[in-house]
Amino acid sequence: MPPNFASVISSMALLTISTSMVIITSLAMLAVMVIGGDMLKKISAQKARQNFGELMDEVRLRGDRYIVNRGSKPLVAVIPVEEYIAWEKARERFYEKIVQIRKRNQGIESEKLQREIREAVEATR
């Protein structure tokens, strides 16, 4: 089971400069997979229920992606299963990297790592 969000954030705070680029790249890749280059279509929950077969065909055959809203609140996303599987694999690789980074940085003081991360961020500005 993947670590919870708080442990992910604390791990990311302890990144070395070289691996922080790997994590940033992984996050960007996940965002592209989830958001993609195409715009997500929005549909009401009622319309999604009434036209679920058609919605599934559009997702499966054309690769369309939907956000299902109840009122103005987004509830779920409907995406092609291949996209979901790719996202899951990327997510697992991401968590594996976090575990590797934690192990590699165990003996290093967090203040030193945070200073190096701050310096790297400042150098890119």
pLDDT digits (tens, 9 = 90+) for 27-63: 444 454 444 445 789 999 999 999 999 999 999 999 9
CATH code, domain carrying 68: 3.40.1620.10
Q: Are 41 and 51 within 8 A, CB to CB?
A: no
pTM given for the model: 0.56
Q: Are 87 and 33 within 8 A, CB to CB?
A: yes
Q: Are 30 and 91 within 8 A, CB to CB?
A: yes
Q: Tell me the per-residue pLDDT of 65-107, one tens digit each, with 9 for 90 and over.
A: 999 999 999 999 999 999 999 999 999 999 999 899 888 888 8
pLDDT of residue 106: 85
Q: Is the pLDDT of residue 13 over 80?
A: no
Q: Are 80 and 60 within 8 A, CB to CB?
A: yes
Exposure letters 87-112 (e unless 16+ CB within 10 A, then b): eeebeeebbebbeebeeebeeeeeee
Alpha helices by DSSP H, 1-125: 5-13, 17-35, 45-50, 52-62, 81-104, 110-124
Q: 110 is in which domain, residue-wise?
A: 5-124
Task: Give CA 71 to chain center in angstroms.
Answer: 26
Distance, in Å, from the CA atom of 41 to the CA atom of 62, rounded to the nearest integer, reads 13
Number of domains in the chain: 1
